[in-house]
Amino acid sequence: MSWQSALACWYLRRQFRPETLKPGVNVEKARALTAKRAWSPRVPAGWRLREAYGLHDWPLHGEWIERADGVSVAANGPTVLYCHGGGYYFCSPRTHRSLVYGLATRANTSIFSLDYRLAPEHRFPAALDDASAAYRQLVADGTPPESIVISGDSAGGGLALATLVALRDAGDPLPAGCLLFSPWTDLAAAGATIRSNDGLDPMFSGPAIARAAKVYLGDTSATHPFASPVYADLSGLPPLFIMAGSTEVLLDDSQRVADKARAAGVDCELEVWKKMPHVWPLFSPFIPEANRALDRAATFVRRVTSGTTRAAQPSSVTSIA
């Protein structure tokens, strides 16, 4: 564990985790704090940010990071549809630019970061509808499904996986793969690490997870497979690549998805990184482990969109120090 990641964990434990110990969920405060503290890095050299926030931009409402020379990466390589985290009720593409920029430049891929509708103003299935519509628009615009990777972190990771399941059930052509960072896949908060990692996780308390879920779910069952894809049938899905930290309260959300995917015959890699905080790739380029994680994520994006088959692995879990 680098000193940079140790510093990040110290900061999260002091500034973020205390808010998750309070009863209830203060949506407006979470949004205000995020807007105040969000850091937006400079657009990487050779790339451009193209914002699409007008009323006419639906369903591709959000922002593109793409090559600045006008050459479409998608014409010769992958496209990533990215779903940001934030419990379904806060954060935005702007708050996640550090991760998205890092992934785009490493994988040489255009990324569309989706600005999906947030709860409680727009509860389930609004986010799922937006992500599904965005994917279908990419395909309708001429992006081959086999060149697309759906990705996301935390709630956005759960959304990315749920979108994949919903597309399969609807008979849509599926993307090349799905890349997930610390995904929230169980809104019922039934995972064992909700309890066993409570107090170890520098960002969340265990009981906060179920409270946050209610903001998005409303009256929907927490085990609905399109809200909590850990309860979905995962058969027939394209390759999955999942990263999570060993002390996260949400670790079991990743472990159970990996186990279930493997049992269904899906190519699924799970990497458990020792003592990394929730969605640590967001701390790129400052944390070495964030940079390493994005390097590995980029390798996955390139592999699945090139059609390269991964050699069989003896286990679905890799531990990384």
Number of other residues whose CB lies within 10 A of the CB of residue 159: 32
**DSSP, res 144:** -
| Beta carbons within 10 angstroms of residue 231's beta carbon | 21
What is each CA distance from 93 to 28, 115, 152, 173, in whole angstroms?
18, 6, 11, 26
Q: Is the dihedral of CA 200, 90, 151, 214 positive or negative?
A: positive
Instruction: Please identify every residue annotated as catalytic.
Output: 154, 248, 278
SS3 60: coil
How far apart CA 270 and CA 255 sit, in angstroms, is: 7
The two structure tokens encoding residue 262: 């493997």
Evaluate the omega torsion of the peptide bond into residue 59 and state whether it is cis, within 30 degrees of 0. yes
- Residue-by-residue DSSP string for 232-292: S--TT---EEEEEETT-TTHHHHHHHHHHHHHTT--EEEEEETTPPTTGGGGTTTSHHHHH
Alpha-carbon span 236 to 42, nearest angstrom: 39
* Residue 22: Cβ within 10 Å count: 12
Q: How far is CA 226 from the centre of its chain?
A: 15
